[in-house]
Structure 1
Amino acid sequence: MQPTLRAAVEKYLIDPSLGWSGSAEAWQPLAFVDLDACEDIAQWDSLPPFPVIGFGERRHRLASTLDAVLESPIDAETLIKQVERAPRAAAVTVQLLRTSERLSLEHALAMESLAYGLLQGSEEYAAWLMGRRPSPDPEGRVIVERQDATLHIVLDRPHARNAINRVIRDQLCEAFTLASLDPEIRSVKLRSVGEAFSAGGDLEEFGTTTDPATAHLIRARTLPALALARRREILDVHIQGAAIGAGVEISAFAGRVTAAPTAWFQLPELAMGLLPGAGGCVSVPRRIGRQRAALMMLSGQRIDAQTALRWRLIDAIEDQPPVTV
Structure 2
Amino acid sequence: MNAIGIDELRGLAMLPPTASGHSPFAEPCLLLRLGGTAERRLADWLRQLPCPVIGIGEADAPLAASCDVVVQNEQEAQPLLAGVRRSPVAATVLVQLLRASESLPVADALTMESLAYATLQGGAEFRRWLEGRPAPPVPPAETGPAVLLAREADTLRLTLNRPARRNSMSVEMRDALVEALQLALADDDIRRVRIDGAGKCFSTGGELDEFGTAPDPATAHAVRSLTVPGRLLAACADRAEARVHGACIGSGIEFPAFAGRIVAAPDAWFQLPELQFGLIPGAGGCVSLPRRIGRQRTACMVLGGKRIDARTAKDWGLVDAIESSR
What CA deviation, in whole Å up to 9, does each residue of 1:231-257 have, x standing for no partner?
112111111111000011011111110
Which of 159, 175, 185 is the aligned partner of 1:180? 185
The 1:314–1:289 alpha-carbon spacing in structure 2 relative to 1, beyond 3 Å, is: same
Matching residue of 1:234: 239
2:9 is equivalent to residue 16 of structure 1: yes
Tell me the TM-score normalised to structure 1 length: 0.91
Matching residue of 1:26: 21
What CA deviation, in whole Å up to 9, does each residue of 1:84-108 have, x standing for no partner?
0000000000000001112111010
Quick one: distance in 2 between partners of 1:233 and 1:139?
33
The 1:218–1:23 alpha-carbon spacing in structure 2 relative to 1, beyond 3 Å, is: closer
What CA deviation, in whole Å up to 9, does each residue of 1:216-239 have, x standing for no partner?
011111111122221112111111
SS in 2 for 1:119: helix
Quick one: distance in 2 between partners of 1:120 and 1:66?
26
Matching residue of 1:3: none
Matching residue of 1:120: 121
Matching residue of 2:304: 299
Which of 248, 251, 260 is the aligned partner of 1:255? 260
Residues 113-122 or 253-262, more deviating: 253-262
The 1:295–1:184 alpha-carbon spacing in structure 2 relative to 1, beyond 3 Å, is: same
Conserved 8 A contact 1:154-1:191: yes
Matching residue of 1:6: none
> Cα offset for 1:129?
0.5
Among the aligned pairs, what percent are the same residue?
47
Tell me the TM-score normalised to structure 2 length: 0.91
Any unmatched runs of 5+ in structure 1? Answer: 1-9
Matching residue of 1:207: 212
Quick one: distance in 1 between partners of 2:174 and 2:317?
26
SS in 2 for 1:44: helix
The residue type paired with residue 296 of structure 1 is: M
Any unmatched runs of 5+ in structure 2? Answer: none
Quick one: distance in 2 between partners of 1:110 and 1:309?
28
2:138 is equivalent to residue 136 of structure 1: yes
Matching residue of 1:111: 112
Runs of 4+ with >6 A deviation:
none
What CA deviation, in whole Å up to 9, does each residue of 1:106-163 have, x standing for no partner?
0100000000000000000000011223223235611011111100000011111110
Quick one: distance in 2 between partners of 1:22 and 1:309?
37
